[in-house]
Chain A
Amino acid sequence: MIKAILIFNNHGKPRLSKFYEHYSEDTEQQIIRETFHLVSKRDENVCNFLEGGMLIGGSENKLIYRHYATLYFVFCVDSSESELGILGLIQVFVETLDKCFENVCELDLIFHVDKVHNILAEMVMGGMVLETNMNEIITQVDAQNKMEKSEAGIAGAPARAVSAVKNMNLPEMPRNINIGDISIKVPNLPSFK
């Protein structure tokens, strides 16, 4: 079981938090802070596993994380999950984000956290891995987006125009977590079909 999925940046600002067990808002923030604290002080070239913090479940659980440019992707899992498998899953997740946002960067996650949630929902459901095939995930996400667009129809047009205008004066959209640039050694998990 996956207990929680957290994405935060190098400064500990949460970009996505998904808890599969209920905690109060305060505890959630505390968990995020604690996790950030644990993860951020680790060097780049140490292992990606960490004995869980005090807050989520304690010793039963592990934190498995990856650091991509400005973002940390942290999965808190219990002993039933394969450590390397989850690392692979994080990779699939990031690659999927990359496909869906076309060169994903932190800003995409900041402004479209709802979309990230929707993508995640196609991969993990209620703490269990639902789908690991990237093409399948993208197909489903696209189909749903298409539905959304068709529902908006003409009514959605003005809103889209406005948001396009608003985005125009967005300060440079720095593409700073272009994951293509940073080569990550993925333990060979060749056939996650």
Chain B
Amino acid sequence: MYANPNSIINPSLWPNGPAPGCFFNFPGNGVTPSTSNGGIITRTQSPVTTGTSILGIIFDGGVMLAGDMLGSYGSMAKFRSIERIIKVNNSTVLGATGDIADFQHLQAIIEQKVIDEDCADDGFTLKPKALHTWLTRVLYNRRSKFDPLWNTFLVAGIEDGEPYLGCVDKIGTAFSDSKIATGYGAHIALPLMREALEKKPQMTKEEARALLINCLRVLFYRDCRALNKHQIATITNEGVTIENNIQLDTNWEVANFVVGYE
């Protein structure tokens, strides 16, 4: 029935089965998947243009998000005016770490969601927690198909008069807290934010801003994929303000004392 180099193997034992020493294509797959995987289709990607940390903190009367404006192309600082923090509506703001293309794809979908809501004109607008839950569902379902959106999102806003800050990552892990940082910020900036919040749990807007700027400075010193130009978003009961293109003051004098890395 089929040409089998090994004539000692009884053909009736496995007709059309794998022949030793030959490549075998499993039946029932229209597309030829990678045989090294045993034929299971996986599309888990590696991100291309990425954004680094986003920091978020709840202060007395609102929430503040900060993040730099860099889209890194691997180790190259390629796009230096990317807005990684966007306004969703008058009570919600979204920040993203990770693949910028995936973020922009979701951004277009969220923009249309907001327009559809406007059209309905029934007095209801998307609240931060609702956006957070929706994102969690989308990301979890994508990961379950082995085709994730390679991002970590921070959702910030005012939910029923109270400040809200939530985080979802690419595998769908979701939580909310009064201080969150994604990417390298979780390792470098979050301890600084925790310390400050322990000393003064109800910070003022100015104190929160100073804290975030300080954390961004430390991140610029220590994170190789960071930039010294960033955005700060403030959400209070009065509304949303996003300031762009804020430059950072840095002091590299200490670099003169570094020895041994020449």
Pairing of A with B: no
The chain B residues found within 8 Å of chain A, CB to CB, are: none
